[in-house]
Amino acid sequence: MKTFAPALLAQSRSYARWGVCLALALTAATGSVAAQLVDTVTTVGVANTLMQQGTGTDMGALQRARALKAKLQAQQVAQQQLLQQAAPPPANMQGAADQPQPAPTETGAVTALVPVQPLTEAQQAQLEQGKQLLSQGSVKAAQNIFESLIAQNYQQPEPHFGLGLALFAQTNYPGAKFEFGQYATLAPQSFEGAYNLGVIAAKEGDHNEALKQFTEAAAKSAQASPVARRQVLDALASEQLRRNDYAPLVSTLSAAQAIDPTDPQLQLRLGQALMLTGKGTEALPLLYSAIQTPEYRADAASLIADIYLSQNLPDRALSSLNASIAQASSDSERADLLLRKAQLQSRLKQDKDALGTVREALQLDSRFVQAQAMLAQLLGDQGDQAGSLKAWQKTVQLDNKNAAYHLSLAAAQLGASQPDAARKSAQQAAKLTSDERLQARAELVQGIAEYRQKEYRQALKSLSSSSTKQPSADTSLWLGLTSYALKDYPAAIAALSDSIKLQDTPAARLNLGATYLASGMFREAEPLLQSVVKLESNNAQAWYQLGLARRALGNTAEAKASFKMASQLGYGPASAELK
């Protein structure tokens, strides 16, 4: 799916004079999940305009929408209040261009004492020269001219606007922000000042400020050209999406669709937003329109299937995808749709059918990396470790820069008793990502591999780093096992206790009980191990450990009964205790 991203606006009423063409950047969203919207974060180019490029982010549409429903209602009220507070759009934007407004100040007194002087012919010639230099990329020379004009006639807004563009082109964001702020003050009915301040705020990562400025720009752009109005609304939508403000997002995209009601990309985005607010059925007309465009067919078909599934109509969901598969105009499009079908079948617990479908997709496109990854996952889920390992190896060959794929390969290698290979794959995964959560999981796998290689001190280092980044029950469990192997029983007890607090499992209880035994803490071990055999009556090792604890406490008869149960379950050491 694709979406528009905001670009720094030149003054809409003076495009011809500024020589600026609004550029709208189309960017593809990554991934293949149905509910994908795009948020805008990265500045990639500056001339007279700032181009911003979006990045895809996956969202579980129905589940997330339901969970956020109450929150979204409150956000919609807040957004409406913010829009009401924004300055009303001028009745005539073109007229406002030629009649600069006096600059308001904190007291309102200074401006009244400084009358606005029109640009002289010489100053106007300087302004045109500055614009030309700016369009040619001579930003420093342009900056000098605009600064000179500001010194001569501070109340005129256009030199401030030009200086803002010149400073931004030189990545002087504080300077550009100041000049666009002055422009917004001197031309308060203009939306371009607020819009450009929003772009800078987004560039600097201040997304609350970006949302505020884009909201103000949207409120003031009602009389702007359709192209400029659409660009402002797209910028506002990107920030609303970033905050998961889906209800206001629907309002913004609806306003954009009023400008271009036949745009299939916009129909798809609005359909997604409606679905994320729990209004999937209202999205169906939009999505069935978007599905007629091959470029958006796969995304629209997936959303339609999600909507039918939310209505407890799984057969309708599958049949809608099958219809789209039949309409596919290329092998690549058909493979994409088959992957969506496999994902749906997997959600419906039809794993064997999903496996056949994803293999069909790979027959059409053997280099379809997302399908290859799903094949690996399905094979692993069905217990085919060798097949899963082979599929993950092929996945990494197809996309060697994807940290998640390397991590999945590492896990498969661990399952295949290849700790050295798993360790290397996990290290590669950690190098490829800046996401601390993914790094933490990679270090966990690395630590387990090192533990299995009996490199306990290195394992302790990897697992401790993982726990610092993202504590988890699994990480604490393996920290406990590693500390136990190093005979650091107090540290093992602490880590295993943490594991139980995070997620109480029989494995953590059993290992903590064993650690208590090793520490001579028999009274603490006995009830803990007894709780394990109550949860897992066939756990031979737990019965054996319980027998040791009972014998140490002098409960000979109960200890013998525990050893007998462990022996009957096939635990060899227990038989020796009965002799």
Read off the CATH number of the domain in which 266 is found.
Answer: 1.25.40
Residues 298, 284, single domain; the answer is yes
DSSP 7: B
Residues 310, 198, single domain; the answer is no
For CA atoms 453, 455, 456, 458, the dihedral sign is negative
Residues 318, 232, single domain; the answer is no
SS3 191: coil
- Per the structure block, which two tokens stand in for 32? 């293949």
Residues 579, 535, single domain; the answer is yes
In a domain, 364, yes or no: no
Domain boundary among 191, 222, 255: 255
Estimate to the nearest angstrom the gap between the alpha carbon of 256 and the chain centroid: 24
Distances (CA, A) of 395 to 71, 371, 403, 430: 39, 9, 11, 17
Tokens 């209505």 belong to residue: 311
Residues 244, 276, single domain; the answer is no
Residues 36, 172, single domain; the answer is yes
- Per the structure block, which two tokens stand in for 141? 């020379």
How many residues are there in the chain?
579
* Diameter over CA atoms, the chain: 112
Residues 184, 281, single domain; the answer is no
Strands 25-28 and 36-46: unpaired
Q: How far apart are CA 380 and CA 366, in angstroms?
A: 20
Can you give the three-state secondary structure of 238-255, one letter per residue?
Answer: HHHHHCCCHHHHHHHHHH
Q: How far apart are CA 509 and CA 518, in angstroms?
A: 14
Residues 73, 183, single domain; the answer is yes
Given a contact cutoff of 8 angstroms between Cβ atoms, the answer to whether 9 and 15 are in contact is no
Q: How far apart are CA 7 and CA 48, in angstroms?
A: 10
Residues 14, 152, single domain; the answer is yes
Distances (CA, A) of 168 to 50, 139, 203, 319, 553: 9, 9, 11, 52, 77
Residues 9, 32, single domain; the answer is yes
Instruction: Classify 19 in phi/psi space as left (phi over 0), alpha (psi -120 to 50) or beta.
Output: left
What is the gyration radius of the CA atoms in the chain, in angstroms? 32
Q: Domain count of the chain?
A: 3
Element of type H or E holding 53? strand 50-58
Can you give the three-state secondary structure of 194-244, one letter per residue?
Answer: HHHHHHHHHHCCCHHHHHHHHHHHHHHCCCCCHHHHHHHHHHHHHHHHHCC
Tokens 């590693």 belong to residue: 482
Residues 290, 236, single domain; the answer is no
Q: How far apart are CA 510 and CA 247, in angstroms?
A: 49
Q: Which domain range does residue 300 map to?
A: 260-327
Residues 125, 185, single domain; the answer is yes
Q: What is the pLDDT along the chain (579 residues), one digit of tens a residue?
A: 333 334 455 444 332 233 332 222 212 222 222 222 222 222 222 222 222 222 233 333 334 334 434 444 444 444 444 333 333 333 222 333 333 333 333 333 344 456 778 999 999 999 999 999 999 999 999 999 999 999 999 999 999 999 999 999 999 999 999 999 999 999 999 999 999 999 999 999 999 999 999 999 999 999 999 999 999 999 999 999 999 999 999 999 999 999 999 999 999 999 999 999 999 999 999 999 999 999 999 999 999 999 999 999 999 999 999 999 999 989 999 999 999 999 999 999 999 999 999 999 999 999 999 999 999 999 999 999 999 999 999 999 999 999 999 999 999 999 999 999 999 999 999 999 999 999 999 999 999 999 999 999 999 999 999 999 999 999 999 999 999 999 999 999 999 999 999 999 999 999 999 999 999 999 999 999 999 999 999 999 999 999 999 999 999 999 999 999 999 999 999 998 887
